[in-house]
Structure 1
Amino acid sequence: MAAHQPLTATAPPPGHHALIACRTAPLLDSAVPALRGFARTAASGWGLPAGGDGIGLALVVGELVANAVRHSGGATVRLLLRATPWEVTVDVADDGRWRPPSACLPSGGPGPGTAGGSGLSIVEALATDVTVRRTRHGTQVLAVLPRA
């Protein structure tokens, strides 16, 4: 099992206005709180308000990483955060085999009282844009969040 990579946060080069943070984790249940915490730390370090961008950001990261854990079957997940003065882009990519959402549901769909199935809807409610891509290496989801 691979260890979590250390926090990577870089200031923008002169003349650019983006902050970037990236972390890779094993695709295990423990990746969800670890990467959610990483996002909170990055947001705090960038001076994003804890009561606004930081909470929405952590929720989006948690939902997207949980989807990767639940549906990809891969070994690793990578989180890349990019903040500009106008927006924060959350980029979650896994190295699993992409499956359409209908292939991830139990036969007959989710049963009564079944939790889950609304992660992407939550992300879409918070983001101004969401893109899901199948790549040669797995699945990549980009979510763009406005800055308050």
Structure 2
Amino acid sequence: MVLTVEASPRPSARPVVRARRRGATPPPPVTIAASSMPATERAVPAMRRFARHTALRWSVPRPTVDALELVVTELVANAVLHSGSPDVTVLITYRGGELTVEVKDSGRWRVRQEPRRVPEDAGAACGRGLDLVAHATSGWLAFLSVTGTRVVATLSVPATRA
């Protein structure tokens, strides 16, 4: 039996210990890349380029790269436009058939004061970002706290043919 200890994403949490039988297939390797910059309009295209170049360097299939670019664009734009944060960070993790992107800011989530009115909003130039993220990913979650917002989205990566 082989024991594996993984670092917890939370510094105060206990490490995760997993046991597996000898000869069992090890878990896929994890590759991580991160970028942080001021939360200005320039961050949106810069983070999109960072995500694209990172995924291409990891040989992620082009359709997934395109979806990743869309997700990063929408989530970083939300942080820049709506959080009031001075900074924004993108963390991309690639593990086997899954790509996870996290966008973090240190601002506050601003709740819409009035409900969206479908007829008036039908021609709106913006406001569809999280709908696009939901469509492009296998799932996403937003974590709101007094220290900021963290949005985590997961994209499935199809196996490539050798």
Report the TM-score range of the alignment, normalised by the length of the smaller protein.
Answer: 0.7 to 0.9
Tell me how far apart the structure 2 counterparts of residues 83 and 37 of structure 1 sit (CA, whole Å): 17
> How much does 1:114 deviate?
2.9
The residue type equivalent to 1:19 in the other structure is T
Relative to the length of structure 2, the TM-score reads 0.74
Identity %: 39
1:136 alignment partner in structure 2:
146
Tell me how far apart the structure 2 counterparts of residues 144 and 21 of structure 1 sit (CA, whole Å): 15
Count of residue pairs brought into register by the alignment: 132
The 1:35–1:108 alpha-carbon spacing in structure 2 relative to 1, beyond 3 Å, is same
Indicate the RMSD between aligned Cα atoms, in angstroms: 2.3
Q: Structure 2: give runs of 5+ residues left out of the alignment.
A: 1-25
1:31 alignment partner in structure 2:
43
1:5 alignment partner in structure 2:
none
Matched, 1:49 2:37: no
Tell me how far apart the structure 2 counterparts of residues 56 and 15 of structure 1 sit (CA, whole Å): 25
Tell me how far apart the structure 2 counterparts of residues 106 and 24 of structure 1 sit (CA, whole Å): 33
Q: Deviations over 1:5-58 (max 9, x none)?
A: xxxxxxxxx9651110100011001100000000001001101122x1110001
Matched, 1:77 2:88: yes
The residue type equivalent to 1:122 in the other structure is L
Q: Deviations over 1:38-84 (max 9, x none)?
A: 0001001101122x111000110001001111100110000000011
The 1:75–1:111 alpha-carbon spacing in structure 2 relative to 1, beyond 3 Å, is same
After superposing on structure 2, the runs of 4+ consecutive aligned residues of structure 1 that deviate more than 3 Å are 105-113
Tell me how far apart the structure 2 counterparts of residues 33 and 86 of structure 1 sit (CA, whole Å): 26
Aligned runs of 1:110-121 on 2, under 5 Å? Answer: 113-121=123-131
Tell me how far apart the structure 1 counterparts of residues 137 and 115 of structure 2 sit (CA, whole Å): 28
> How much does 1:133 deviate?
1.1
For residue 40 of structure 1, give the secondary structure of its aligned residue in structure 2: helix
For residue 73 of structure 1, give the secondary structure of its aligned residue in structure 2: coil
Relative to the length of structure 1, the TM-score reads 0.81
The 1:108–1:73 alpha-carbon spacing in structure 2 relative to 1, beyond 3 Å, is farther
